[in-house]
Chains A and B, each alone.
Chain A
Amino acid sequence: MRHAIGQGIRGLFRNGWYTLVSLLTVTICLFLSGILFTVLADLGATLDRAARDVTVTVFFEPGITEEKILDYRAVILDREEVRDVVYVSAREAWEDFGQEYLGEYAADFDENPLADSASLRITMKDISRQKDLTAFLEKLPDVRKVNSSAGAARALGSAGTVLTYALAGTGLSLSLISLFLIYSTISAGIAARQKEIEIMKYLGATDGYIYGPFFAEGLLIGLTGACAAFFLVTILAGRTMLYLEESFPVLTEVFVFLPMGRIWRTLGPGFFGFGCGIGLLGSLLPVGRHLRV
């Protein structure tokens, strides 16, 4: 074991450029995936918050009673994609409107011009199902109009989907490249030491003694790459967030920046597992090929 690790470390230096290139590839792979993951996690949190702000408003036919509207409220609340339904009376609607758009002129009106504008304001748990909800609401009797922000919901939802695919695609292709490079590094190492391996075999070395160092080497490349990526992402993403929050405070109102600690709880084990996995696989394949011959 100590032999394998010691020789593995020596192998890292013996292979020089090869080792450096595969190490950098693993680092870059994990770094990009890490950044994408961070953005995705923040976006997810942002979408979550945005979902609370995106509302569907239902207006009813003039003359409907308040009790009737409250009955509808109960029906709508029963639907699973709905988070909350708020009843907005005509008076409240007018006050809101007046404050927002008319300011002091609001006092000039004697009668409420929005007398028939009692409404239900719905917030959703899952904004991607806004269309279903709207269709359901429009079929209800007594409903005059449904106001929804279908466009915003769709845009937010698809941005998340696109980023998820981007993460999966980038991660996968970069993993394959990393794997290939570790594989080449270990293969080159075995080829360079072919004569030594041959001699050690005749001296009675076991396969473990001969090939252990190559596993250690692959594992070290994977783990070192993961550690380097860990620091890069922590430093870079952490710094960027801090900078954005300080320089553009308005951004924090639109975007949610998750604390790095929460992101690392997922990313840390992921990096570690990926580093080990790709290191072991990258050395297992060439060693296996070598053993079969």
Chain B
Amino acid sequence: MTTKPVSGPDTVIRLENITKSYRGGDSIPALLEVCLTIHRGEFVFVTGASGSGKSTLIRLLTREIRATSGKIMVLGYDMQRIRRSQIALLRRRMGIVFQDFRLLEDRSLLENTMLAMKVTGAGSARSRKRARDILERMGLSGREKARPLQLSGGEQQKAALARALMNSPALLLADEPTGNLDMDSAMEIMDLLTEAHRAGATVLVVTHNMEIVEKVGGRLIRLDHGRVVYDSGPAERREDP
């Protein structure tokens, strides 16, 4: 079984008539016949009310779950036919920032960050150096030894982002990365995301904070009850001032 890219090399994400129903499909679908194309270098916001299917979209892209029907291509892989061993390779090219951070509570901030590179088979020394660099850029240099629970919400969010950036991802996915943060902390996170975007990553951010969308700009997609009800379109991308 092969998963050869169908769309061009510039297509990072492509959904064709994607429907996702949880629990075998008796319930109302979380996503319904969604079509979507995201090109390399785009900065995309996905917004919508709670339960509209935003996290489901992210979970489909990371292959945490499979679509009920339709076709998804991510970074050239057909997500319905991808092999188990290829999922690991795909995820190494993605940075994922989870809504609940998913940091290991019994490891230090440095160890948590290093883990992203170590699982790819990189040595400890190299991983440590890279993690220190990234943590420094995030302004977390002094907190390397701290455990996640000793960090503030904003610091934990930054830690999750630092880990996601370890392998210089081609695609960065963030599910409500500013969810529980005040505006200042939220903007700090957004600045780091735009920095990663400028460094070459395609970025997809889920948020329901329209103020941030206004400030940062970029493509906006709105979901409602599992359908795409608004898409500002791929071409419209405002540059940062």
Contact = CB atoms under 8 A, between A and B. Distances in A.
Interface of A: 3, 195-196, 198-207, 209
Contact of B163 (A3, A203, A206, A207): A203
Interface in B5-26: none
Nearest to A199: B102
Contacts of B91: 201-204
8 contacts: A3-B121, A195-B102, A199-B104, A201-B91, A202-B64, A203-B119, A207-B84, A209-B121
B119 A209 contact: yes
Given A196-B104, A209-B119, A209-B121, A202 B96 contact: yes
The 10 closest A-B pairs by CB, nearest first: A204-B92, A205-B119, A204-B91, A206-B88, A203-B116, A203-B119, A204-B88, A200-B119, A199-B102, A202-B96
A3 B90 CA distance: 22
Contacts of B88: 201, 204-207
Given A203-B163, A204-B91, A207-B88, 14 more contacts: A195-B102, A195-B104, A196-B104, A198-B102, A199-B102, A200-B119, A201-B91, A202-B64, A203-B115, A203-B116, A204-B94, A204-B116, A204-B119, A206-B88
Interface of B: 62, 64, 84-85, 88-94, 96, 98, 102, 104, 115-116, 119-121, 163, 167
A206 B85 contact: yes
A199 B120 CA distance: 13
Contacts of A199: 102, 104, 115
Contacts of A204: 88-94, 116, 119-120, 167
B139 to A, nearest CB: 23
Main secondary structure of the interface of A (DSSP, over half): helix
Contacts of A207: 84-85, 88
B120 A200 contact: no
Contacts of A203: 91-92, 115-116, 119, 163
Contact of B62 (A3, A200, A202, A209): A202
B201 to A, nearest CB: 15
B126 to A, nearest CB: 14
Contacts of B85: 206-207
A194 to B, nearest CB: 12
Among B94, B98, B119, B120, the most chain A Cβ lie within 10 Å of the Cβ of B119
A205 B91 CA distance: 8
Nearest to B91: A204
Contacts of B89: 204
A202 B101 CA distance: 12
Nearest to B121: A209
Nearest to B103: A199
Contacts of B167: 204
Contacts of B120: 204-205
A200 B121 contact: no
Contacts of B96: 202
Contacts of B116: 203-204
A204 B119 CA distance: 7
A171 to B, nearest CB: 38
Nearest to A291: B84
Contacts of A198: 102
Contacts of A195: 102, 104
B218 to A, nearest CB: 24
Contacts of A3: 121
Contacts of B84: 207
A202 B98 CA distance: 10
A195 B85 CA distance: 20
Contacts of B102: 195, 198-199, 202
A214 B133 CA distance: 32
Nearest to A207: B84
A196 B120 CA distance: 15
B213 to A, nearest CB: 26
Nearest to B64: A202
Contacts of A202: 62, 64, 91, 96, 98, 102
B97 to A, nearest CB: 10
Among A198, A199, A203, A207, the most chain B Cβ lie within 10 Å of the Cβ of A203
